[in-house]
Amino acid sequence: MLKVAMVAPLLLSAGFVGATPPENGWWWNPAESGRGFAIEVQNGSMFMAGFMYDNAGTPVWYVSGPAPMTSDVLYQGKWISYANGQTLNGQYKSAVVSNDAVGSVVINFTSTTTATLQLPNGTVMPLVRFGFGPQQPGPVSATCTTSNINLDKYNRITVGMTMAQVNQTLGCTYVPGSTSRTATYVLNTWMVYDNGIKGILIYFDKTNSVVTAQPGNIFKSSSGF
């Protein structure tokens, strides 16, 4: 049985190969429902709006842009909040800026449907493009093939995913014999031996249930592709 130590992790860069603009639409962290972001990219510029709640539990929106993206996969800007604007049924009333220095926003797109968002307090959270059409879970095989272990599937894995979500995303299950455990995390490996050895290594919390980031925000690595 191939051990984890024999698979040399090759950490991918913050961007993704063959970068194309991210998909426009609604984005969220599946582990934190109730907060989300509208993202749209046009001609190299991005507009982003976030809906959530303030410390008093009052709904609040934050906006960033439209502003040029730093690159095809990176946006850096600032959050602005507005208030005293249009109600649902009232006459039109233009909103005013309530805070033009809420904090910075940094979003790095790791694929067209996945990203990491750095909040003003420095917290980094995963984002995925929200799909709300009818979706049927695909099959999950006990054996991985090259269709399961590749860059596209790798880029879809984000912090906060459950084991079931990772298996569903990759379409196959990990190799139990190559699992490595420590006091703070569990490292699982998904492997394929078709035309060479390829693997995806993912860190989970110590209960082996949720993808978790390690120091340096490392939560996955790959080998062979």
CA 205 to chain centre: 17
Sorting pLDDT into bands at 50, 70 and 90, what band is 137? Answer: low
- Per the model's pLDDT, the better-predicted residue between 96 and 134 turns out to be 96
Sorting pLDDT into bands at 50, 70 and 90, what band is 5? Answer: very low
Tens digits of residue pLDDT in 81-99 = 998 889 899 999 998 999 9
CA distances (Å), origin 93, targets 11, 62, 89, 99, 125: 50, 18, 11, 18, 34
User: What average pLDDT does the segment 127-155 reach?
Assistant: 81
Label residue 122 left, alpha or beta by phi (over 0 means left) and psi (-120 to 50 means alpha). left
pLDDT at 4 over 70: no
Is the pTM higher than 0.75? The answer reads: no
For residue 174, give both structure tokens. Answer: 């990990």
pLDDT at 119 over 50: yes
* Residue 74, helix vs strand vs coil: strand
d(CA 188, CA 180): 7
User: What average pLDDT does the segment 96-109 reach?
Assistant: 92
Of residues 107, 63, 56, 103, the one with CA closest to residue 81: 63
pLDDT at 72 over 70: yes
- Per the model's pLDDT, the better-predicted residue between 154 and 132 turns out to be 154
Half-sphere exposure of residue 192: CA atoms within 13 angstroms, side-chain side: 19
pLDDT at 61 over 80: yes
Q: Which of 5-19, 25-39, 50-64, 187-201 has the lowest mean pLDDT?
A: 5-19
Tens digits of residue pLDDT in 164-182 = 889 988 999 999 888 999 9
Q: Give the pLDDT confidence score for residue 2 in this predicted structure.
A: 34
* Residue 66, helix vs strand vs coil: strand
Q: What percent of the chain has pLDDT over 70?
A: 88
Cβ neighbors of 104 (< 8 A, separation 6 or more) are 76, 77, 78, 79, 118, 120
Residue pointed to by tokens 């860190």: 203
